[in-house]
Amino acid sequence: MHLPILPTINATLNALAGVFLVLGRIAIKNKNSGRHKKMMLCAFICSALFLCAYLYYHLTSRGISHYQGHGLSRVIYFFVLGTHSPLAVLIVPFIIMAIIYALKGDFKKHTRITRWLYPAWGYVSLTGVIVYLMLYVFPVVCFAQSGDNIELGYQLYLKYGCAVCHGKEGYGNGPAAKNLYYLPTNFHDLISYRAGTSRGQMKDVIRHGLREEDSIMPSFGHIPDQEQDRIVGFLLSLQEHNHEDVVVSHAWVMAMPPSSQTTAAFMEIENTTGQDTKLVAVSSPAARSVEMHTMSQSAGMMKMQRVKEIRIPAHGKVLLAHGGYHLMVIDLLKPLKKEQTVPFVLQFQYGTKMNVNAIVRDDES
């Protein structure tokens, strides 16, 4: 969960101020005025720091944070914020007055102020925390896209027939595409969008179709709202995968005597995104087929075994190397020469493809 640092500090200061206020209140109820003084001083410092940080944040950050919720929660948010901010400023002179009277020993006047200052200050601290939770924490928790949701979005994409035009992998090359005057959008290619690439813009297209007279993109307003969101989540993931997020390095092919028609290829695959991905297929124009293999031990012997996919975890790296995962290059069309490069096409989940050139060299291990 990525939360902005300054608002997080502000919320913490508010929460601390609230705790000190309560402790200070308990102390004075128990007639422990020394402790009361310390606690109220701490509350004052927390609130003063908060006010400075709050002003600093709002003077320096360009955009104002907009609340993302709808309906009742939006009303609550604006009520809470609408009372929190003015009250936070309003109580400052009264806090200072209360402190001055306390220092002078004029406790009659001190309590006259604190009788209502206490709940007001408490309200400001509490609502400071609530505003923060509504603005930064709940949206992240409630709207975060998990890997499962994207998979689900893909299922819905197939279910509602988007693939007929846009293709199974979102490249805009479905079976119906060739009969259309306008090519369906290739979701991997940001330039091919006409209405826009953001979540809201795509949802608008799904709901209303493309509102241009020559458009063929139909309206899918009958799809339930939540399912539209899921589909858009999937489409967004295709855009993300376009941004060089999987990095392949050190690709090489084992040099073999000319008589051998089979060899193996190795490489390092790094996933720099926050989302797991899978290598689902590999091909090469230099061979009839390329299979993904792993080594496993059975009855004390190492054995090769074909696998359907290789998972590359989020922010993780998978090494295709001796004794582990590797690519079997089967039925070479021509014998390979040393130092020659062999092109491979790696295909990842949801159709992201990647070209990799591997160099032919001797086995060094």
CA–CA separation, 177 and 164 (whole Å): 8
- Of 144 and 302, which CB lies nearer to Cu ion in the complex structure? 302
328 interacts with, out of ligand HEC, Cu ion, none, CB within 5 to 8 A per kind: Cu ion
Q: Is 123 exposed, middle or buried (0-12, 13-18, 19+ CB in 10 A)?
A: middle
Q: Residue from 180, 190, 307, 333 that binds ligand HEC (CB under 6 A)?
A: 180
180 interacts with, out of Cu ion, ligand HEC, none, CB within 5 to 8 A per kind: ligand HEC
Using CB under 5 A as the binding criterion, the count of chain residues that bind Cu ion stands at: 3
Residue 223 interacts with Cu ion (CB under 5 A)? Answer: no
Q: Residue from 58, 104, 112, 194 that binds ligand HEC (CB under 6 A)?
A: 194
CA–CA distance from 169 to each of 163, 164, 235 (Å)? 8, 11, 10
Least separation in angstroms between CB 170 and ligand HEC: 9
Residue 150 interacts with ligand HEC (CB under 6 A)? Answer: no
Contacts of 312 (CB under 8 A, 6+ apart): 246, 269, 270, 271, 276, 277, 278, 279, 318
Q: Residue from 98, 150, 210, 292 that binds ligand HEC (CB under 6 A)?
A: 210
Compute the radius of gyration of the chain from its Cα atoms. Answer: 31
- Of 18 and 172, which CB lies nearer to ligand HEC in the complex structure? 172
Q: Residue from 55, 89, 96, 304 that binds Cu ion (CB under 5 A)?
A: 304
Q: Where are the alpha helices (DSSP H) in 199-247?
A: 199-208, 225-241
Least separation in angstroms between CB 184 and Cu ion: 39
Residue 196 interacts with ligand HEC (CB under 6 A)? Answer: yes
Least separation in angstroms between CB 182 and ligand HEC: 4
Residue 129 interacts with ligand HEC (CB under 6 A)? Answer: no
CA–CA separation, 323 and 303 (whole Å): 9
Least separation in angstroms between CB 46 and ligand HEC: 48
Residue 175 interacts with ligand HEC (CB under 6 A)? Answer: no
- Of 235 and 251, which CB lies nearer to ligand HEC in the complex structure? 235
293 interacts with, out of Cu ion, ligand HEC, none, CB within 5 to 8 A per kind: Cu ion
B/e letters for 251-272, b = 16+ CB within 10 Å, e = fewer, are: bbbbbbeeeeeebbbbbebebe
Q: Helix 33-60 and helix 107-132: axis angle, to 10°? A: 40
CB–CB of 245/316 below 8 Å? no
Q: Residue from 125, 185, 263, 349 that binds ligand HEC (CB under 6 A)?
A: 185
- Of 211 and 322, which CB lies nearer to ligand HEC in the complex structure? 211
- The per-type count for the chain, helices as H runs and strands as E runs, is 9, 10
Contacts of 212 (CB under 8 A, 6+ apart): 194
CB–CB of 354/344 below 8 Å? no
End-to-end Cα separation, the chain, in angstroms: 42
Site for ligand HEC in 234-253 (CB under 6 A): 235
Contacts of 47 (CB under 8 A, 6+ apart): 13, 14, 17, 95, 121, 124, 125
Q: Residue from 88, 131, 231, 292 that binds ligand HEC (CB under 6 A)?
A: 231
Q: Is 78 exposed, middle or buried (0-12, 13-18, 19+ CB in 10 A)?
A: exposed
Least separation in angstroms between CB 140 and ligand HEC: 25
Residue 293 interacts with Cu ion (CB under 5 A)? Answer: yes
Stretches 3-11, 128-136, 163-171, 245-253: which one binds ligand HEC (CB under 6 A)? 163-171
Residues within the interface to ligand HEC (CB under 6 A): 160-162, 164-166, 176, 180, 182, 184-185, 193-196, 202, 205-206, 210, 215-218, 220, 231, 235
